[in-house]
Chain A
Amino acid sequence: MIKEKSADWNSIFILLLKRVLTSVIVLFLMITFLFFLLRIAPGDPSQKFVSPDLSPRLAAMVRQSFDLNSSLLDQYKTFILNLIKGDFGISYTYRIPVIQVIGEFLPFTIIFSLICFIIQLSAGFLLALFVVKKINGTRDKIISQTSIMVYALPSFVIGVALIFIFSVLLNIFPSSGLSSFDFDSFNFFQKMIDYARHMVLPLITLSLGGIAVYYKYLRDNLEEVYNKSFVENLRAHGFEEKVITKKHVIPNAISPLIAVAGVELGLLFGGALITEVIFALPGMGRLTINAILSRDYPLVIGCTFVSGVLIIITNLTADLIKAKMDKRIVKGILN
């Protein structure tokens, strides 16, 4: 028995290693693709240095210091050599190492996405539980219809509407930013409230779509499990409905959700973009867009790399959790 188990873990480890290796290849491909795409595309990072107030010699100087004058392959070689040392280069706009720039923006995005993820899951779950007693009842119909409508609403429409109602008309929540100016003078408790007040509208905006997705998945899964024969069997054996729901139906309905949740969390890391723009939040989305628009090549590559890593990690984690629940699928997913 014990021997079998360890063998199992061994194979998981090997497969995991394989998966990590392919991920590295995928990331490498991605960076290379981006590197060449950025450089063959129109646009010039030194454009910022051409203006009526500046000497034309400056732009030439800057171009040279960005190493944009040497051949494409030479640039690529330098880039890869630096990358192996863990150096993504220096951001053209911020003029500090890319890693450092990302370090300033990444924590916010991760915390924001995780909170949002938790809200989405728990709200979706609660709503599904709320209707589970009477699938296809009035409650179910109302909530299901609303969730479809919410899903169809673009997030920028939700965001703008929320600002209009809660900031402009009712004046309850601030319309943008992460904290007030007097933030530093607050005590810990006030600081938390300040954050909370600023985050209410963005969290609602970003969560609504996901809540609808999770609700729909859970609800459909619950329905499917309820109609399965083993539930009938349990009923026939005289188990209480409550016990059946708690002990058998819910666990069975949740496991397929994990794959979806993994993908959705990955999307959240990258997809908070529009919310960040509407509410002026200092996250990775805005950083990346600005980097793209100002042709900050090293920063674009750095940001995409980090987002890619996050997506790969979340997918992997979801797969591992799934694998833990059901060992049979280990091989299937790790391939």
Chain B
Amino acid sequence: MRNKLLLSILLIFSILFLSSCGKKVPVRQNRVVAAISSDIESTNPLFAFNIDEGTISELLYLSLVQHGWNFSTGNMTTSPMLAKSWDWNKDSSSITLNLRDDVKWSDGQPVTAADVIFSFDVYSDPLVQSRLYGSFKDFYTDTSMHVDLKKTFNEISPYKLTINFKKNTPASFYDIDFPIIPEHVYKNVSRKDFVTAEKEIKPVTDGPFELASWNKNQSIILSANTKSFLYNSNDIEELIFKIVPDYYSQLTQLKRGEIDFMQDIRADDYPLLKRQDDLNFTSLKGREYDYVGWNNLDPEVYKQSKKIVPNKLFGSVVVRTALTYAINRGEILHEFLDNHGEVAFGPVAPIFSSAVDTSLKPLPYSPEKAKQLLASAGWKENKSTGLLEKNGRVFSFTLDIPSGNPRREFAATVIQNNLREIGIKMNIEKLEPEVFFQKMFARELNAWMAGWSVSIPPDLKQFWYSKLDDAPLNVASYQNKTADNLLDEIESSRSENVKDELYKKFQEIIYKDNPVTFLYWIDNLMAYNKRIKNFQLTPLGPFHHCWNWSIR
């Protein structure tokens, strides 16, 4: 009797499972599933701190203008979005925008100039702590960097307004390029509690997509906004961001068709994946580079007294150049990235084709040359230890890397051996990312490996300017007067051609000084299901213009 019961239960279960498995995951028409590795914290553009949040908020909320990419010059182009046309005044100190009058928020209210002004107000309000706080440098602001609404805006009609910039600032479209939020939804929210109160409010959006549902740590489902002027009946109806933290699970799901799009695929997995016939492959040329940072100043003295004293090991240009010669960058690039990238020699990404100085070539791998240079700087080998020494000091240091990054671990291991071969002892210390970055920004590390993603257009001043307080990202504490002058000129110049020439000059200086050892620009490898048509890839990201995707 009991056995029969058990048997029947088993039978029922197996039928349940058999019926639900066997077939592949149901392929829904008009739906694209993309993998992201961690959940977003907000869909609101005010608080879109990471890339995924930025992507999603820009799909939900429209900006005044939109950008495209000109591959031949390596520049961004600007085209209408919420603003259908505009006029710059003669000295580019103000712009008059004509807004579209057919855009509605998802609750039916029209999008007007008041929303635009309100957005500037909220974004720049120090109490709100938005991601753009502090970056309204070209505007009239009060001492707390809050945009002065009276001086700045002139609302001519609900669909027409003028924005006045501060005199003699290089104002451009980048200053007004961010998603606009609805005034009528947020106007009564207290600014002090905005960041928490905002979570309680259901998003009211005007973008090409609407937020259909958000399952914490599971998925974010966007559905096409059929009322949007960007909508076309052939377009995809749903875009799902599925949260899959584990890289290998992402890969498995891509192969099984559970997800349609994945980025940041490791080069090692690319060849095997390419056997999959239902996938298309593409890669985005890098604007992200890894580098080995050599602290140009002595971290201990700096920590104690903020005084700038050259680093005992890396303060010398010759030593840094020798280290660059000694590191086999090509091997790391070939073995770990399978050559999906290129060896770097400076901070200007190759995608900015008109700004890159193509006459420069990265220093080759040459341990002999490195030894020579080090010998000329007074570093001699101690026969008994096999290590370089100078005035009784052994050439030995610790390279810090953030944990949880296989590429940097790989590179660090190779570099460790490279340097050991020329008589330098390097220890690797893995720090938990929070600790690593805190120490790096405090300029406490001696040597480290990290990466930067270059913004569009490249903003070099933050990274290389001598006044360390103005350049929080100049963590190598590089200081060079000529470079400073060039950076100042770049900032105030308006002409793209002049800027390009200045960029080139700047690269030459960096090339000579080797403030850090640039390793390589890293391509972002992607794969997407062949069902997706109209997939266009620009340096602005794979989801830029994804509302035009369609399913065969």
Using a CB–CB distance below 8 Å, which chain A residues touch chain B? 42-44, 47-58, 61-62, 65, 90, 93-97, 104-105, 163, 167-168, 171-182, 184, 193-194, 196-197, 277-278, 280, 282, 286, 290, 293-295
Contact = CB atoms under 8 A, between A and B. Distances in A.
A280 B41 contact: no
Contacts of A51: 49
B472 interface: yes
Contacts of A104: 216
B435 A95 contact: no
A90 B255 CA distance: 40
26 contacts: A42-B438, A47-B438, A52-B452, A54-B49, A56-B134, A57-B126, A61-B129, A90-B196, A94-B41, A95-B41, A96-B196, A173-B21, A174-B25, A174-B258, A175-B256, A176-B244, A176-B249, A177-B219, A180-B25, A181-B242, A184-B213, A278-B246, A280-B245, A282-B217, A290-B38, A294-B434
Nearest to B240: A181
Contacts of A52: 452-453, 455, 459, 462-463, 473
Given A179-B218, A181-B221, A53 B455 contact: yes
A56 B472 contact: yes
Contacts of A48: 49
Nearest to A94: B41
Nearest to B472: A56
B249 A175 contact: yes
Contacts of B49: 48-49, 51, 54
Residue from A43, A62, A163, A193 whose CB has the most chain B CB atoms within 10 Å? A43
Contacts of B41: 93-95
B437 interface: yes
B244 A193 contact: no
Contacts of A53: 131, 455
A38 B459 CA distance: 35
A54 B131 contact: yes
A320 B384 CA distance: 70
B133 A293 contact: no
Contact of B28 (A176, A182, A280): A182
Contacts of A193: 16, 20
Nearest to A166: B21
A61 B192 CA distance: 12
Nearest to A126: B6
Contacts of A178: 218
Interface in B396-441: 432-435, 437-439, 441
B439 A42 contact: yes
A290 B31 CA distance: 30
A293 B433 CA distance: 8
B252 interface: yes
A173 B437 CA distance: 40
B433 A57 contact: no
A208 B217 CA distance: 26
B533 interface: no
Given A49-B49, A177-B218, 5 more contacts: A175-B256, A175-B258, A181-B31, A278-B246, A295-B434
B437 A50 contact: yes
Interface residues of B, number: 61
B130 to A, nearest CB: 8
A282 B243 CA distance: 10
A174 B473 CA distance: 43
Contacts of B252: 163, 167-168, 175
A56 B441 CA distance: 11
A179 B240 CA distance: 14
Given A52-B459, A184-B213, A280-B243, A58 B433 contact: no
B319 to A, nearest CB: 27
B180 to A, nearest CB: 19
A197 B17 contact: yes
Contacts of A65: 129
Nearest to A196: B16
B316 interface: no
Interface in B1-54: 16-17, 20-21, 24-26, 28, 31, 33, 38, 41-42, 47, 49
B195 interface: yes
A204 to B, nearest CB: 13
Contact of B21 (A49, A50, A90, A171): A171
B432 A43 contact: yes
Nearest to B137: A55
Nearest to A48: B49
B133 A43 contact: no
Contacts of A295: 434
Contacts of B441: 47, 50
Contacts of B215: 179
A196 B13 CA distance: 10
Contacts of B216: 104-105, 282
B502 interface: no
A44 B16 contact: no
A94 B215 CA distance: 14
B253 interface: yes
B199 interface: yes
A61 B126 contact: yes
Nearest to B200: A96
Nearest to A97: B196
Contacts of A277: 245-246
Contact of B472 (A50, A179, A182, A293): A50
Given A57-B133, A176-B246, A182-B26, A44 B434 contact: yes
Nearest to A279: B249
B73 interface: no
Interface string B124-148: 0010010111110000000001000
B402 to A, nearest CB: 11
A171 B28 contact: no
